[in-house]
C-alpha cells in the first residue's frame, strides 16, 4: 500500500500556543509534518474548527483547522489532527528533522 502524504510525519514533542474562539491554550505535539500536526490538547475542538498556532521557538504563527478528533489520551488530553491553511516548512524550524523517526503509515 502506498502512502500519499504530502510530507514525512516525524515524532516530536513541541510546545505550542493554540488560539480558537477567543481562548488560548498550551498544547504539545505528538507528530509533526510540513502541513500540520497531531497535537495533545486540553480542549476537544470539533472538526473544522479554525485555530491559530504559535511556535514560541520559531516565533511563527500559522492559521490551521482541526481535521480529526481522536479519543482522549491516558493523561486526559485530546488527540487532534491539525492541518495548516498553507504549507509552512519554516514553522517547525530545526524541530522538523527529515531524518527523524518517521511514523509508519496506518489506516
What is the three-state SS of the chain?
CCCCCCCCCEECCCEEEEEECCEEEEEEEEEEECCEEEEEECCCCCCCCEEEEEECCCCEEEEEEEEEEEEECCCCCEEEEEEECCCCCCCCHHHCCCCCCECCCCC
Whether the CB-CB separation of 48 and 81 falls below 8 Å is answered with no
Question: What's the pLDDT score for residue 107?
Answer: 36
- Label residue 4 by pLDDT band (50, 70, 90): low
Domains and CATH numbers, the chain: 10-92 (2.40.10.220)
Global pTM reads 0.83
Tell which wins on pLDDT, 43 or 101. 43
Give 50-87 pLDDT, tens digit per residue.
999 999 899 999 999 999 999 887 888 999 999 999 98
Give 11-33 pLDDT, tens digit per residue.
889 999 999 888 999 999 999 99
Amino acid at each position: 500500500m502506498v502512502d500519499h502524504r504530502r510530507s514525512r510525519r516525524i515524532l516530536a514533542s513541541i510546545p505550542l500556543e493554540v488560539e480558537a474562539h477567543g481562548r488560548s491554550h498550551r498544547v504539545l505535539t505528538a507528530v509533526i509534518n510540513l502541513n500540520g500536526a497531531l497535537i495533545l490538547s486540553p480542549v476537544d475542538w470539533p472538526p473544522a474548527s479554525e485555530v491559530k498556532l504559535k511556535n514560541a521557538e520559531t516565533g511563527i504563527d500559522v492559521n490551521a483547522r482541526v481535521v480529526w478528533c481522536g479519543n482522549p489520551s491516558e493523561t486526559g488530553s485530546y488527540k487532534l489532527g491539525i492541518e495548516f491553511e498553507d504549507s509552512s516548512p519554516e514553522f517547525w524550524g530545526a524541530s522538523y528533522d527529515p531524518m527523524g523517526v518517521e511514523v509508519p503509515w496506518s489506516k
